[in-house]
Amino acid sequence: MMFRFSPWPLFQSYRNAFLRLAAIAVAIFMTMTVQPVIAATAVGKPMEFVLVHGDMAWCRSDNRCPDWISAEGDITPDTPTKLRKILDRLGDDRVPIVVSSPGGDIGAALEMARAIRKHNLMIAVGRTRWRTCPVADPMCAKAHMPDGTMKGETYSAGAFCNSACTLFFSGGVKRVCGQWAWLGVHQAKSFDNGAQIERAGLSPQWEKKVIQFIEEMGVDKHLFDISLEAKPNQMRNVPQMEARSLNLTTELAAVEDLVAARNCQDNEPLGVCAARARIPPRK
């Protein structure tokens, strides 16, 4: 009796398995790249600023904990006023900003960026949560204290800074966005004067103003060219390495690194500042 071996069924089996794995990989990739954009269009709440006191792991052995400003929501024309109020309240304290926003009003974003640059503040793309709040409401009411502040911790997953938010983000003296957070740009929408006719792109005057602002903040003006690659209803991701090459971010780090660093000098890496901040002061 002779047995004849045919490799074809085995090949088909391996091929089908490979195709299934490839489909899963593509699905995961699409989820990672598209989901933040979907989330961005679903927020729809004006940006709010909350002073957060770091909890647990953020504290030093002498129980001194870092603070940061949580900034989450849409940038509206009155958002700069809200920002000025919390900055005035903090005075000379250099408290970093942790932002997650789908964008919004460009003029407001420019004003906010200049305000945080004037105060010499650092910024990171991230979100804030309190450990006892539900996942769907990470900054729930029970996390807030009577004075309006809250205790919490930062995280990167699902955080995003899109559209006009990237202009606000540019104002930070140190700017970071970790691998699990998202920076996105696209063409702006504008309306013709006197008529509610929406069109893609900015007027020549606003285009010049935005490009000058980007250069003023020390970011490569090529960022504006990149934004033209996506229509107003689309979003173009700026990956971590590209953001660094454009100087949109100032170093490869995440929100946790920036918060842990506390008051960090412009010429110091966040890692050095974070290590120093964890050492209790000598008595």
**Is residue 1 predicted with pLDDT exceeding 50?**
no
- Which letter does DSSP use for residue 174 in this model? S
Q: Give the tokens for residue 250.
A: 């100032």
Same domain, 164 and 182: yes
Q: Note whether 160 and 237 are within 8 A (CB).
A: no
In a domain, 282, yes or no: no
- The reported pLDDT for the residue numbered 58 is 61
Q: Which domain holds residue 12?
A: 7-42
Strands (E), the chain: 48-54, 67-72, 97-100, 123-125, 127-129, 150-155, 160-162, 175-176, 182-185, 189-191, 198-200, 236-237
Least confident segment among 38-52, 100-114, 180-194, 216-230: 38-52
**Is residue 64 predicted with pLDDT exceeding 50?**
yes
- The reported pLDDT for the residue numbered 254 is 95
pLDDT 10s digits, 11-31: 445 445 555 555 555 444 433
Same domain, 37 and 53: no
**Is residue 10 predicted with pLDDT exceeding 90?**
no
Same domain, 26 and 122: no
pLDDT 10s digits, 204-255: 999 999 999 999 999 999 999 999 999 999 999 999 999 999 999 999 999 9
Same domain, 254 and 181: yes
Same domain, 25 and 60: no
Greater confidence (231 vs 131) lies with 231
Same domain, 136 and 198: yes
Q: At 155, is the secondary structure helix, strand, or coil?
A: strand
Same domain, 209 and 269: yes
**Is residue 77 predicted with pLDDT exceeding 50?**
yes
Q: What percent of the chain has pLDDT over 70?
A: 76
- The reported pLDDT for the residue numbered 61 is 60
Q: How many domains does the chain have?
A: 2
In a domain, 135, yes or no: yes
- The reported pLDDT for the residue numbered 16 is 54
Same domain, 87 and 165: yes
pLDDT average, residue stretch 70-77: 97
Average pLDDT of the chain? 83
Same domain, 21 and 136: no
Least confident segment among 37-41, 43-47, 174-178: 37-41
Q: What percent of the chain has pLDDT over 90?
A: 59
- The reported pLDDT for the residue numbered 37 is 32
**Is residue 193 predicted with pLDDT exceeding 90?**
no
Same domain, 25 and 56: no
- The reported pLDDT for the residue numbered 9 is 46
Same domain, 217 and 257: yes
- The rounded distance, in Å, linking the Cα atoms of 230 and 95 is 34
